[in-house]
Structure 1
């Protein structure tokens, strides 16, 4: 029951919404889990499904200790699936329209303080000074760009040479949903990037194409390699949390807000579709202010 409809819905999402393969796989698993639950309930036709059936599925997931963020995504997948069936006329009514996602508790992302971020980048620059190899230049450049621009690791690995705009000193980044945005590059990051591009040809092979960042075998740099580079760089700084590339993105956003940047500008730089996603960083900076107040104020 429902497998044909599920496959058709996923194809429609892939064509119309430009969702990532990872998101499509997650939605496929979510709806398959629901269909299995409905079969156990004896529902043989999607037209028989009611809101109570969908709520029982979410309750079953919650009782098994599923994370609230996962439950929220699963509820969104089911609403999308049934809403699509209703819009194309397969269902007379949409049972998932009133299905509510569990509320997410506030969970502040861990981040680097400015001292740790400076230490990570200083060590990368020092490595270039000591070794001056193509790999050392590449690693310094990607660390500088990740922190200066706040781009996602997928966006970094997807950068092509044509995305580097020397006249405006910006990167044209292709983000989620194939949306392009221009991100300014700070002076230290720009110097590191230019230093890497000067020697890129010594690593790049035919498989690299137009990739800005390439691996040791000459092809476009793999995201897993970037994660290893960032973890290794952070491990060398005492007191720095063990974060991946996304931690540098968090740090960039947090430090911009602490420096007085407005929320809309940070949203634009990060490529967030919703301002609500960016607002988590205001909570980070507020928590830091509270901590400083409680430590320093005599009547805290």
Structure 2
């Protein structure tokens, strides 16, 4: 898994490192699009229920859960990182750049490419984390309609693209494990 290679970021004692870790964790945990991620505000986070209110295409909003690693990265960012970058232009943006403004889409693409460079995934963009989240949900037995809702797809056909990878893994598992394969 790529996250073992990214974990050293958690010990970086600068706000950008904490923010970068959060970006990676949230992209994978929520399957959010980059535009959805950078559009998050502080009030979009339900800390108690570990949910994000994400605004997707067509200004449609959905609630997306996130797990414990993302919750820990979020807590670390809020406690030790965001305040160091925040200023009067920060408003309520969750993710901030080094100037205290809302983090931009291009910045996320660049930082994800940089962070994934030395991992088994290799150079990849944020969409690869969205793809991984969807594939792992399906591999774990999640219902296709639930994954559709999770990703904010308006069409089930768009979500079905991810089933191809899961079917290939199923075939491999069958060949390796079934005595009559």
TM-score using structure 1 length: 0.57
Matches within 5 A, 1:89-100: none
Which protein is bigger by CA-based radius of gyration? 1
* Equivalent residue in structure 1 for 2:32, among 144, 151, 154: 151
Partner Cα separation in structure 2 for residue 200 and residue 247 of structure 1: 26
Q: Deviations over 1:247-293 (max 9, x none)?
A: 10000000000001111111111000011111111111112223444
SS in structure 2 opposite 1:207? Answer: coil
Consecutive unaligned residues of structure 2, counting only runs of 5 or more, are: none
Partner residue in 1 for 2:87: 205
**Count of residue pairs brought into register by the alignment:** 180
Aligned counterparts of 1:223 and 1:197: Cα–Cα separation in 2: 20
Structure 2 residue 11 is the aligned partner of structure 1 residue 125: no
TM-aligned CA deviation for residue 122 of structure 1: 2.7
Could you say which structure has the greater relative contact order, defined with CA pairs below 8 angstroms and 6 or more residues apart? 2
2:54 to 137, 152, 173: 173
> Partners in 1 of 2:50 and 2:141 — Cα distance?
22
Equivalent pair of 2:117/2:124 in contact (CA under 8 Å): no
Aligned-partner Cα distance in 2 for 1:208–1:267: 33
SS of structure 2 residue aligned to 1:206: coil
1:216 to 98, 109, 112: 98
What CA distance in whole angstroms lies between the structure 1 residues aligned with 2:40 and 2:69?
19
Instruction: Indicate yes or no: 2:135 matched with 1:254.
Output: yes
TM-score by length of structure 2 reads: 0.92
Shift of 1:294: 4.9
Separation of aligned partners in 1, 2:13 and 2:6: 11
Structure 1 residues 74-103: Cα deviation after superposition (integer angstroms, max 9, x where no partner) = xxxxxxxxxxxxxxxxxxxxxxxxxxxxxx
